[in-house]
Chain A
Amino acid sequence: DQQVKQNSPSLSVQEGRISILNCDYTNSMFDYFLWYKKYPAEGPTFLISISSIKDKNEDGRFTVFLNKSAKHLSLHIVPSQPGDSAVYFCAATPGGYNTDKLIFGTGTRLQVFP
């Protein structure tokens, strides 16, 4: 029972273009969402988060959009850079910022080519 789904296992984007990574969830109790980035042989690192009281959060080249009615969120990276090539995980929690655990998706491998 996958509560957080990332249906695209991989995405390839040209440098300078926009990368859009998608995530769907099924649990309507989720109210805090996060994106993590993972390089090979390293642990995931936190990128950006959004609370369910917002529909958008921006941090530099990264923007997360939340559509609660559709139970969908997306991560936009503009402009994409080769260093952005990594696996991106979406995560969610029903506990708000104070969480006991995060539920992760299966990840999307982003490749940014020159």
Chain B
Amino acid sequence: GAGVSQSPSNKVTEKGKDVELRCDPISGHTALYWYRQSLGQGLEFLIYFQGNSAPDKSGLPSDRFSAERTGGSVSTLTIQRTQQEDSAVYLCASSLEGGAPLHFGNGTRLTVT
């Protein structure tokens, strides 16, 4: 069956440019999460969507980061004016109604040069 799908798998961008990362969750999963893993670090929570509720944005590191989830399915994480410290693997996960465990995609490796 289809798992969580993320695109692109790799993205190289120049400092100052904007990037969009896409996540297709598992069909029927109402909860969607974004995490990132920087080199040598654990998985850092960024944002959480659950159904029609207001998203939990408490993990977003700055106002350059934003995310949308359209129609309760696909999500896009946008990073504006990228900085080198934004380089990381961005992981999307989904779960059924916000219950553990989370099911992760393979991530997007973002490199800001």
Q: Which residues of B contact A102 (CB under 8 A)?
A: 43, 45, 100, 102
Query: How big is the A interface, by class?
Result: 20 to 34
The answer on a CB contact under 8 Å between A100 and B50 is: yes
The answer on a CB contact under 8 Å between A106 and B91 is: no
Q: Which residues of A contact B104 (CB under 8 A)?
A: 36, 43-45
The answer on a CB contact under 8 Å between B42 and A100 is: no
The answer on a CB contact under 8 Å between B101 and A34 is: yes
Q: Which residues of A contact B33 (CB under 8 A)?
A: 101
User: Does A25 touch B at the CB level, under 8 Å?
Assistant: no
Closest B residue by C-beta to A41: B106
Residues in A61-97 with C-beta less than 8 Å from chain B = 89, 91, 93, 97
Rounded to whole angstroms, the CA-CA distance of A86 and B56 in the bound complex is 30
Rounded to whole angstroms, the CA-CA distance of A107 and B41 in the bound complex is 8
Rounded to whole angstroms, the CA-CA distance of A36 and B59 in the bound complex is 21
